[in-house]
């Protein structure tokens, strides 16, 4: 017995929220992995420059890298711990929502 196209559509619509959550999480994992790799190299460079210039505290480049890391943590929002309304316009969630709206619209 074959399923009607409307039954297939209903199944996909029921499955979509879970599938979407998985896809968004996977994308965020890749974005965060890239960010971590980038921050690792950047923090080493900042530390070495601070060492040479003898910069410490809040004025150091290393502290600025940490600030950048905290900002990107909010933007990636891997575990949805930050409210979407509080996020920057360039958050991963907003970009993915805009992309999904364009495909649907």
Domain definitions of the chain by residue range: 5-104
Distance of CA 66 to the CA centre of its chain: 17
- Whether 1 has a pLDDT exceeding 60, the answer reads no
Burial-class residue 46 by CB neighbours within 10 Å (0-12, 13-18, 19+): buried
pLDDT per residue over 5-32, tens digit each? 677 788 888 898 999 999 999 999 999 9
**In angstroms, rounded to a whole number, what is the distance separating the alpha carbons of residues 40 and 34?**
10
pTM for the complete prediction?
Answer: 0.78
**In angstroms, rounded to a whole number, what is the distance separating the alpha carbons of residues 29 and 83?**
18
pLDDT per residue over 37-79, tens digit each? 999 999 999 999 999 999 999 999 999 999 999 999 999 999 9
């Amino acid at each position: 017995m074959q399923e009607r196209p409307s039954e297939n559509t209903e199944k996909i619509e029921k499955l979509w929220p879970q599938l979407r959550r998985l896809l968004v999480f996977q994308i965020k994992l890749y974005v965060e992995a890239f960010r971590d790799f980038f921050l690792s190299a950047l923090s080493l460079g900042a530390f070495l420059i601070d060492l040479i210039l003898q910069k410490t505290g809040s004025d150091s480049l290393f502290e600025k890298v940490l600030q950048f890391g905290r900002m990107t943590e909010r933007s990636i929002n891997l575990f949805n711990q930050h409210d979407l309304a509080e996020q920057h316009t360039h958050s991963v969630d907003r970009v993915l929502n805009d992309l999904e709206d364009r495909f649907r619209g």
